[in-house]
Amino acid sequence: MTTTPVLHMEDVHRIHGKGDAAVHALRALHLTVHPGELVAVMGPSGSGKSTLLNLAGGLDQATAGKVRVGGDELGSLSRADLAALRRRRVGYVFQDYNLIPSLTAAENVALPLELDGVRRSKAATAARGVLAEVGLQGLGDRFPDALSGGQRQRVAIARAVVGERSLVLADEPTGALDSETGEQVLALIRARCDGGAAALLVTHEARHAGWADRVVFLRDGLLVDQTTLEDADSLLAGA
Amino acid sequence: MSIRHGLLALLERAPMYGYQLRTEFEATTGGTWPLNVGQVYTTLTRLERDGLVEPQGEDEEGRVRYAITAPGRDELASWFGAAVTPQDRPRDELAIKLALAVTVPGVDVRAVVQRQRAATITHLQELTRLKTRQDPDLSWSLVVEAMRYRAEAEVKWLDHCEAALLRASERRPPPAVPAPHRRPARR
């Protein structure tokens, strides 16, 4: 593929602490994610999944190695540039939604755009558009506590993809949802990727990893294995 | 599977008689797969024909002990090295494979578990893709869902096996190696 990867991690290490107390949370990690790709990350707890996600989103800094988002190396950016990159290009989806309770669904979704200087009315229009895409048209004026768990997670996904964001980082996004609602959330993330975004999905559910194009397995901070999937046409031909 | 591979795995532990193989096989598979001694001898004959085991001569009671050969070891290694596909699962070969793997020296059981996990998740990816790309038809999608749930359950069970293996390896002391300076027990 000749397109610029959305995410490129090269020989990345993350060590917490020093000397005898040092913990190697991630070792010699190489990972490239292209536009359109949904990559699931699996592994036992403590294997480095969340560390990987935090490094990819610039929430944490690698001890060694390079992390590039859309070609920009995070380690070389100023704090202000890194914050701008996080606002404009990276969206997060967490297990507990992390919505602001005093803002409506539409205001929650518009927030990253407004923080980035987009005019309020324009941000609101964009927010309503994305809310409709995730099946929440007409619910933009509700506050989070008037929404179900599944609806709140849809709002969180809308917030993660609003604007020009090309990288979605999801940490157990279906953890608090029932199986059917969880599937719908995965289908939404899948649809965003089919539309050209890229996503990293941390999950311990094999069923959810099934939505990914690729599944990487971490153990003790090392990428130990990954699956590859033939293209869908050949699968359908054999069905 | 594969009584063949089951017997090869047992012979990798030590050479055995047919009757012994039957007892060990049933013990290892938790009695889920009863064998009659005739099946054991038929299988041994075929394994011998294929050069995978060899008889070691008769004892005083006329019983023949069989040992695994080098090609037999290769065959066993490639069985442990390959993931089980849904087509070759008349019985729960996977459960039996893992039950045998933990008893055979030198098998990296975590690698066996991971290979299967990756294969099963790839299968899940394929099923999920079929589900989303195909026109929805209720009967068909119920069948696909059944396969997804089965695959999901298998991965959960593999996670459980891995956790149990880890716990066991933490409990078990490393194999005792006789210290070189210690005097032999028999003097």
ipTM: 0.81
Mean pLDDT of chain A: 90
Q: Report the gap between the CA of B79 and the closest CA in chain A (Å).
A: 20
Crossing angle between the packed helical segments A149-161 and A120-133, to the nearest 10 degrees = 130
CB within 8 A of B12, min separation 6: which ones? B68, B73, B76, B104, B105
The CA-atom distances, in angstroms, between A99 and each of A122, A154, A155, A230 are 21, 11, 8, 37
Task: Kindly determine whether residue A229 and residue B122, on different chains, have CB atoms separated by under 8 Å.
Answer: yes
Q: Would you list the domain boundaries of chain A?
A: 7-238
B118 touches chain A (CB under 8 A): yes
**Between A229 and A78, the higher pLDDT residue:** A78
- The CATH label, of 1.10.240.10, 1.10.10.10, 3.40.50.720, 3.40.47.10, for the domain at B3-81 is 1.10.10.10
Low-confidence ranges of chain B (pLDDT < 50): 175, 177-180, 182-187
Class of domain A7-238: alpha beta
Contact criterion met (CB below 8 Å) for A74 and A90: no
Q: Which of B148, B156, B162 has its CB closest to that of A210?
A: B148
Q: CA angle, corner B148, sides to B146 and B151, nearest 5?
A: 110
CA A184 to chain centre: 16
Interface residue A218 vs chain B (CB under 8 A): no
Is residue A57 predicted with pLDDT exceeding 90?
yes
* Interchain CB contact of A183 with B (< 8 Å): no
Closest Cβ–Cβ partner in A187, A190, A206 for B121? A206
Q: Which of A42, A217, A235 is facing B126, going by the closest CB pair? A: A235
- The DSSP code for B136 is P
Q: What is the pTM of this model?
A: 0.77
- A142 — pLDDT class (breaks 50, 70, 90): very high
